[in-house]
């Protein structure tokens, strides 16, 4: 049977409820200071054209043999890096060793004859001083000694030539770079001047080929955007965060057209490359997508954070609180000192001041 609570029990229950700690309420955050309005203005916008660029070395050179003989000691393979003056192969001519031995023997003979001529000259001088020798004998002895000394000097030079030829049997790398191709094999007979390997210098460029109609727009110093390796897409839409595309610069525009195309070289700094080594870490001949500015026009560009999508329509909030419907175009990447943004085709006018919509952050839409 149920019993009704007594008055003391009811009083104790009320006291317990009153003494219980209240649930902690979250502290209200302080007001966030509003950001400065953004003023809409026209600015130059580059029309970007996506093209393929080929990674090529600025210079390619060949390591050639300097003497004829048999190629031995081939020390490099394709892909190896070499330093300037590094020995990459050796050419041996057995005849040079025989010539050196013959010249050494002739030098020993001339040195012996020179010693004998010096002794005869000293004797002729003594005889001339004592009056028993003639002046003609002294002059003949002096001349014979001079001839032997000249012959010894000539033979010594011939011996140095043979030694230099033996040293020239070393095939040296004419420049620092990477071995692209090895065209010789060990044990093959080569003639002087035959190539052993092709070397690409360490400095690489992105070689662009654009249609002739763009020749008047491109010049040295223009910025370019380089896509990721492996023919990854390079589009302006990748630049909302401005991190996926590397920055480069047009280094040289060639004055001659090739097959109706203007040829230009672009460089990419090491800190802007996907592998941290500029274009030096790319394969020679590798193709990369590049965005090149082929013209400039005026347009309204707004940071993406000032636009929002509501019910399928893009909206912007003016500084006076009014909301306007806008139509945006393509993303505009950052080039040089111009920040990235979104081109606005309609809905805004130059001089409008925008504020960020409520609930937006600093990230792009």
- Tens of pLDDT along 220-246? 888 888 877 765 554 544 444 344 677
Instruction: Write out pLDDT tens, residues 183-210.
Output: 999 999 999 999 999 998 867 888 999 8
Structural domain contains residue 5: no
Q: Is the pLDDT of residue 171 over 90?
A: yes
Cα–Cα separations (whole angstroms), residue 224 to 49, 207, 257, 265, 276 = 10, 12, 20, 11, 18
**Distance between start and end Cα atoms, the chain:** 68
Smallest CA-to-CA distance from 192 within 310, 76, 91, 321 is with 91
**Same domain, yes or no, for 244 and 150?**
no
Q: Is the pLDDT of residue 83 over 80?
A: yes
Contact (CB, 8 A) for 48 and 293? yes
d(CA 228, CA 36): 36
pLDDT band at 111 (very low <50, low <70, confident <90, very high): very high
Compute how many other C-beta atoms are within 10 angstroms of the C-beta atom of residue 89: 23
d(CA 238, CA 116): 90
Structural domain contains residue 22: no
**Same domain, yes or no, for 121 and 210?**
no
Helices (H), the chain: 7-19, 94-130, 135-167
d(CA 257, CA 350): 41
Smallest CA-to-CA distance from 107 within 143, 160, 146 is with 160
**Same domain, yes or no, for 82 and 210?**
no
Structural domain contains residue 18: no
Greater model confidence, 26 or 33: 33
Kindly report the average pLDDT of the chain as a whole number. Answer: 80
Domain of 176, CATH number, reads 2.40.50.100
Structural domain contains residue 16: no
**Same domain, yes or no, for 141 and 176?**
no
Domain of 286, CATH number, reads 2.40.30.170
Structural domain contains residue 50: yes
The domain of 183 spans 61-93+169-201
**Same domain, yes or no, for 252 and 277?**
yes
Structural domain contains residue 334: yes
d(CA 336, CA 120): 87
**Same domain, yes or no, for 342 and 214?**
yes
The total of structural domains in the chain comes to 3
Contact (CB, 8 A) for 176 and 56? no
Which of 16-30, 126-140, 216-230: highest mean pLDDT?
126-140
* pLDDT number for residue 281: 64
pLDDT band at 70 (very low <50, low <70, confident <90, very high): very high
d(CA 278, CA 268): 5
pTM for this structure?
0.56
Structural domain contains residue 3: no
Contact (CB, 8 A) for 76 and 183? no
């Amino acid at each position: 049977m149920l019993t009704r609570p007594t008055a003391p029990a009811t009083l104790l229950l009320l006291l317990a409820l009153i003494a219980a700690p209240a649930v902690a309420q979250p502290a209200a955050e302080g007001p966030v200071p509003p950001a400065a309005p953004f003023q809409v203005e026209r600015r130059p916008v580059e029309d970007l054209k996506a093209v393929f660029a080929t990674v090529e070395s600025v210079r390619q050179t060949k390591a050639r043999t300097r003497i004829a003989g048999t190629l031995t000691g081939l020390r490099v393979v394709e892909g190896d890096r070499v330093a300037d003056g590094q020995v990459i192969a050796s050419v041996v001519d057995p005849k040079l060793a025989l010539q050196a031995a013959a010249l050494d023997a002739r030098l020993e003979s001339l040195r012996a004859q020179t010693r004998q001529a010096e002794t005869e000259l000293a004797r002729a001088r003594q005889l001339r001083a004592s009056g028993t020798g003639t002046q003609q004998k002294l002059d003949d002895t002096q001349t014979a000694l001079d001839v032997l000394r000249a012959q010894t000097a000539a033979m010594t030079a011939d011996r140095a030539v043979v030694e230099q030829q033996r040293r020239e049997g070393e095939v040296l790398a004419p420049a620092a770079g990477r071995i692209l191709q090895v065209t010789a094999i060990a044990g093959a007979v080569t003639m002087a001047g035959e190539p052993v390997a092709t070397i690409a210098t360490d400095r690489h460029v992105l070689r662009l080929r654009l249609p002739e109609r763009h020749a008047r727009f491109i010049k040295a110093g223009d910025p370019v955007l380089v896509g990721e390796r492996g023919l990854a897409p390079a589009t302006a839409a990748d630049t909302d965060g401005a991190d996926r595309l590397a920055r480069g610069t047009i280094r040289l525009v060639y004055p001659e057209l090739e097959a109706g195309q203007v040829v230009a070289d672009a460089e990419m700094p090491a800190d802007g490359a996907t592998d941290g080594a500029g274009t030096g870490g790319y394969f020679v001949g590798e193709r990369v997508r590049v965005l090149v500015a082929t013209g400039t026009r005026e347009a309204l560009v707004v940071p993406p954070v000032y636009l929002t999508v509501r019910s399928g329509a893009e909206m912007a909030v003016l500084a006076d609180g009014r909301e306007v419907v806008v139509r945006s175009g393509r993303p505009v990447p950052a080039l040089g000192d111009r920040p990235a943004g979104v081109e606005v085709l309609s809905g805004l006018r130059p001089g409008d001041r925008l504020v960020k919509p409520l609930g937006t952050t600093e990230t792009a839409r």
